[in-house]
Amino acid sequence: MTAQEETTGREHGVRIRRLRPEDHDAVSELILAAYDAGGHLEEEDTYRAILADVASRAEVAEILVAEVDTDAGPRVGGSVVLAPPGSPLQETAREDEYEFRMLAVHPDLHRRGIGRALLAAVVERARAMEGVRGVALTTMESMVEAHRLYEAAGFVRTPERDWMLSALLPGLPPEEDKGPFIVYVLPVD
């Protein structure tokens, strides 16, 4: 893969590129750190293992990372999982929508434009894809800072598409049901 194929964009000192195998540990750590810092997961939550399993997601999806310069050198500071139409990782997107999941920025690197740069890369890819009319995402009610990012980028809340975990996992005991998970959509056509 050439450098041109690998780098997908640069915004305000943030380089967006495809995930490399050597990034797996850093991405796993940053996702868990982001969820923990935001208070979005309990220590015993089984979703922690899913979030940490970057290698399995990389087998079925494209993952972008945001690399930033720090005093210690370049560092992976954020990531996002891409789920275009037909992806096995889509949860809420309609057939003409591009979806992204697990957009996360390491809490030590907030306010550097990392989330905004990752979001711009997702939208750019969606707009370039034939037949895509929107970009959808699911987020947690507790992710208020992320909601502001999405709304600033033009995403609109679609409460009629909100869902509970039991919708994906029938038979889930009520005490383990999580949600509601809330949906935002950005029209791109």
Cα–Cα separations (whole angstroms), residue 123 to 33, 99, 116, 128, 182? 25, 10, 11, 9, 19
7 in Cβ contact with 17 (< 8 Å) = yes
Please provide residue 179's backbone torsions phi and psi, each rounded to the nearest 5 degrees.
Answer: 130, -170
- Could you read off the pLDDT of 41-92 as tens digits, one per residue? 788 778 889 999 999 999 999 999 999 998 888 999 999 999 999 999 998 9
Q: Is 3's pLDDT higher than 80?
A: no
Q: Which CATH class is domain 3-135?
A: alpha beta
End-to-end CA distance of the chain: 31
Q: Is 8's pLDDT higher than 80?
A: no
- Could you read off the pLDDT of 146-185 as tens digits, one per residue? 999 999 999 999 999 998 888 878 888 877 777 789 999 9
Contacts of 150 (CB under 8 A, 6+ apart): 119, 137, 139, 184, 186
pTM of the predicted protein model: 0.88
Kindly list the domain boundaries of the chain, sorted by start residue: 3-135
* Of the candidate ranges 12-21, 97-106, 116-125, 151-160, the one whose mean pLDDT is the lowest: 12-21
